[in-house]
């Protein structure tokens, strides 16, 4: 590999990717951070008022809709975590009972193949206060059930969570199934030989063994929650009122509907900060895992 041409071609081939990274990612992030310090409204202004450079952030944290967005982000995160639990239960059952494995897998994963706009459309229809599931339940006498969750601000977020869990459980099931399959089969036969009850086997042995899978799922879920936008648009459009605002929706709303560039940039920077807070443990985890497998001389 000491030939001259073989030294330069790879670098040349990397040029497009390096340019894209430098301009569209690094450059763009710096640009947005800069804009968040300016007073830009509809059009960018590049003068920074140094007496008050953080004024957009001050405004952001005084904004009620942003407070709602952050609260909803946490609610959505905690609620969607059910998808991991549900995914694990499904995976454990499919793993134990081999019959029908591929059929169940296919059914549990198909929501992932369709657009979140389609998912939102379907659930919006199921939650329809006039003709939806509520109406169907009321007509068979279950009139005490309230299922038009999307029409009131208090319950709308739970409707979004239900749709999100429906959409993503299959994904976590697939990850968990991969994790379960990598567990040494001797554990199962040893446990059976020993008559350890299943509950204890899972809580004390299997789940601790799968902690990396769980952490990975949790991080992927958190990153997905921050990006949640499509499903909100399709199901509630942020409403009723502003009750289903999330940061991703808030930011785009500030930019496109309110035309407030500096303010939207500040919200976007906060989204980046939240992502970084979640992302940091992932980097440390990967580094730690690599060191660990390196030491074990895999």
Rule CB under 8 A: which of 116-155 touch other proteins?
Answer: 116-126, 128, 130-133, 135-136, 139
Q: Which of residues 68-127 bind other proteins (CB under 8 A)?
A: 90, 93-94, 96-97, 99-100, 104-126
Q: Minimum Å distance from CB 58 to other proteins?
A: 20
Number of residues near other proteins (by CB under 8 A): 109
Examine residue 181 and tell whether it contacts other proteins (CB under 8 A). Answer: no
> How far is 221 from 80, CA to CA, in rounded Å?
8
Interface residue with other proteins among 41, 181, 227, 291 (CB under 8 A) is: 227
Examine residue 287 and tell whether it contacts other proteins (CB under 8 A). Answer: no
Contact 96, 188 (CB under 8 A): no
Beta carbon nearer to other proteins, 43 or 62: 43
Beta carbon nearer to other proteins, 62 or 193: 193
Q: Which of residues 232-271 bind other proteins (CB under 8 A)?
A: 233-234, 237, 248, 251-252, 255, 261, 264-265, 267-269, 271
Beta carbon nearer to other proteins, 79 or 170: 170
Examine residue 5 and tell whether it contacts other proteins (CB under 8 A). Answer: yes
Interface residue with other proteins among 4, 50, 193, 199 (CB under 8 A) is: 193
Site track 21-60 with other proteins (rule: CB under 8 A), x = hit: x-xxxxxxx-xx--x--------x----------------
Beta carbon nearer to other proteins, 64 or 186: 186
Interface residue with other proteins among 75, 220, 281, 285 (CB under 8 A) is: 220
Q: Print the SS3 string covering the chain.
A: CCCHHHHHHHHHHHHHHHHHHHHHHHHHHHHHHHHHCCCCCCCCCCCCCCCCCCHHHHHHHHCHHHHHHHHHHHHHHHHHHHHHHHHHHHHHHHHHCCCCHHHHHHHHHHHHHCCHHHHHHHHHHHCCCCCCHHHHHHHCCCCCCCCCHHHCHHHHHHHHHHHHHHHHHHHHHHHHHHHHHCCCHHHHHHHHHHCCCHHHHHHHHHHHHCHHHHHHHHHHHHHHHHHCCHHHHHHCCCCCCCCCCCHHHHHHHHHHHCCCHHHHHHHHHHHHHHHHHHHHHHHHHHHHHHHHHHHCCC
Q: Minimum Å distance from CB 154 to other proteins?
A: 22
Q: Minimum Å distance from CB 222 to other proteins?
A: 10
């Amino acid at each position: 590999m000491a030939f001259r041409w073989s030294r330069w071609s790879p670098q040349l081939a990397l040029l497009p990717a390096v340019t894209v990274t430098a301009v569209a990612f690094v450059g763009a992030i710096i640009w947005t951070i800069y804009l968040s310090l300016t007073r830009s409204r509809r059009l960018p202004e590049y003068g920074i008022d140094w007496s008050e450079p953080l004024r957009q952030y001050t405004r952001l944290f005084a904004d009620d809709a942003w407070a709602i967005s952050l609260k909803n982000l946490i609610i959505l995160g905690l609620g969607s975590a059910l998808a991991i639990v549900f995914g694990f239960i499904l995976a454990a059952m499919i793993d134990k009972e081999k019959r029908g494995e591929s059929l169940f897998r296919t059914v549990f994963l198909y929501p992932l193949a369709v657009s979140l706009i389609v998912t939102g459309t379907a659930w919006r229809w199921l939650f329809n206060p006039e003709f939806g599931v509520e109406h169907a339940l009321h007509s068979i006498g279950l009139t005490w059930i309230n299922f038009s969750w999307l029409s009131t601000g208090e319950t709308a977020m739970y409707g979004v969570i239900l749709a999100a869990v429906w959409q993503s459980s299959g994904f976590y099931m697939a990850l968990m199934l991969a994790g379960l399959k990598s567990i040494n089969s001797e554990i199962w036969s040893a446990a059976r030989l020993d008559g350890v009850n299943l509950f204890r086997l899972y809580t004390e042995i299997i789940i601790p063994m799968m902690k990396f899978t769980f952490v990975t799922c949790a991080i992927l879920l958190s990153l997905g929650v921050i990006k949640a936008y499509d499903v909100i648009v399709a199901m509630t459009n942020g409403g009723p009122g502003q009750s289903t605002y999330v940061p991703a929706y808030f930011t785009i709303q500030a930019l496109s509907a309110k035309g407030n560039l500096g303010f939207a940039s500040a919200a976007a920077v906060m989204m980046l900060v939240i992502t970084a807070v979640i992302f940091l443990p992932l980097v440390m985890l990967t580094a730690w895992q690599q060191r660990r497998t390196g030491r074990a001389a895999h």
